[in-house]
Amino acid sequence: MPAQPFTYPVAAGWIRSLASEPAPYEPWPVVRWDEKLLEDQIRFLDAQAELGVIYNRVFGLFVGRDWPAPFDPKTVIDAQREELLLRFMDAAHQRGIKILAGTGIYSWGFETIIRNCPEVRSAGSNKQAMCFYQPGSWDWQRRILDYVMDPKWGADGISMQSADQGRCGCDRCQNTPRPVYHAQLLIRCAQYIRQQRPDWVIGQASWGLNMDDPNDLPHFQRIAEAVDYMIEVPDRSARTEPPTRKKLISSLNCAVGSVGGVFVSPAQHWDRLRYFLPHGLRTAQALKDLYDDGGRASEYHYRLFANPGDEVSWRTGAKILSQPDTSPEAALRLALAKVYSVTGSTLAQLADWYTRSEDAYFTRAAFSVGDGELNLEPLVWQDNPSMPGPPIYLRDRLTPEARADYAKELGKLKKEFTDLAIPDPELRRRTLAGVDGTLADIAALA
């Protein structure tokens, strides 16, 4: 009998993290929505439907860092955004995909509210996180939840994040142990949502809150009772000595998961063909390991399908979510056959080429699967957040010697690729452009 699919396979990202057009001169995260983005989203939904990834969690459906204050539900988004949003929801539902609204809990989205509304602040409070102990904070959080839960948007659930931007710095908040603090925030919100929308899926991702200390388990167990799935970020419990993830998962009364193997964070500012970094085999293996540990959820992050290496890698991992007993190698071949329209010996050669291209980076780089995101450029670049950032995946994770050696290997791989019988000239061009982009960045670092 084939293995049961993941219960919560969730494609996930900020709204533009799948955009074919970069936003080179705006600080991250840009949440601009236009026809071109909707087209990219629909292409992504098609791949999800094909691969059985039946949830999609979007951050930035309505706003980026700032819910407005004062808050008028009629003017939070304009008519054009509302129309795009409704068309997106409709396209998802037509394909059997449910949309979860990525939502910050007491942080993410509250910067203007914190600035304008003293009733959510305390002495020493954080610019990005409301104070838990100010009664005005819950009023604001509830207002946002009510807005997101409005049936007119058509969302099917929510995924909550409370810890990514730290928490209020007042003495009372700081004196509350972190897991206790976040458990009370998340449980209060989950219970409120459940009451209003019993039909909704409720997820939670632990960005900023480690889950691997066994002493904290009772707090995570309480969260698990209130939600449908929990995502551990990064996969720390799988990396302790000895690993404790299996025990963690079996102790929590909800589906548990990860962000899905090698999470190459989409580079908002960059040209989509500036890099070629296949990572599907390692991602697929990580998802299989998660499944073997009892994991049945993943917020499996978007990739940029305008970059063929990214699309192949995303598809390779996605296959595991619906058919966990697929081997990574078989998943890679299926992805390549689909993206490059190749069969037979060309497919075998291309699979071998992709395998060696993936190994070429990961056998040389200081990166361990499950140890957080792999950023191509910095997500938020302090020097100048409105400009494309430097290629830190090459600069910081490879020694100069390893970089030179990697460039040599890529040069060889490039030559081999030109000998492959890839039928689609545009895909040939885009693949080679990515390899050239990486080589140019390495050359500039030398």
Residue 18 to residue 395: CA distance in whole angstroms: 24
Give Cα 53 distance to the centre of its chain: 14
Beta bridge partners of 10: 55, 299
Instruction: State which residue, 122 or 298, has the beta carbon closest to Zn ion.
Output: 122
Q: How far is the CB of 146 from Zn ion (least distance, A)?
A: 23
Chain residues that interact with Zn ion, rule: CB under 5 A? 122, 131, 168, 170, 173
Instruction: State which residue, 114 or 193, has the beta carbon closest to Zn ion.
Output: 114
Q: How far is the CB of 127 from Zn ion (least distance, A)?
A: 13
Q: How far is the CB of 173 from Zn ion (least distance, A)?
A: 3
Instruction: State which residue, 122 or 313, has the beta carbon closest to Zn ion.
Output: 122
Residue 238 to residue 235: CA distance in whole angstroms: 6
Q: How far is the CB of 175 from Zn ion (least distance, A)?
A: 10
Instruction: State which residue, 25 or 133, has the beta carbon closest to Zn ion.
Output: 133
Q: How far is the CB of 211 from Zn ion (least distance, A)?
A: 23
Residue 148 to residue 61: CA distance in whole angstroms: 9
Alpha-carbon distances, residue 283 vs 181, 258, 262, 312 (angstroms): 32, 11, 5, 11
Q: How far is the CB of 69 from Zn ion (least distance, A)?
A: 18
Instruction: State which residue, 37 or 130, has the beta carbon closest to Zn ion.
Output: 130
Q: How far is the CB of 133 from Zn ion (least distance, A)?
A: 5
Instruction: State which residue, 158 or 185, has the beta carbon closest to Zn ion.
Output: 185
Residue 132 to residue 180: CA distance in whole angstroms: 12
Beta bridge partners of 35: none
Q: How many CA atoms lie within 13 A of 190 on its CB side?
A: 24
Instruction: State which residue, 189 or 254, has the beta carbon closest to Zn ion.
Output: 189
Contacts of 337 (CB under 8 A, 6+ apart): 343, 347
Instruction: State which residue, 187 or 379, has the beta carbon closest to Zn ion.
Output: 187
Q: How far is the CB of 185 from Zn ion (least distance, A)?
A: 11
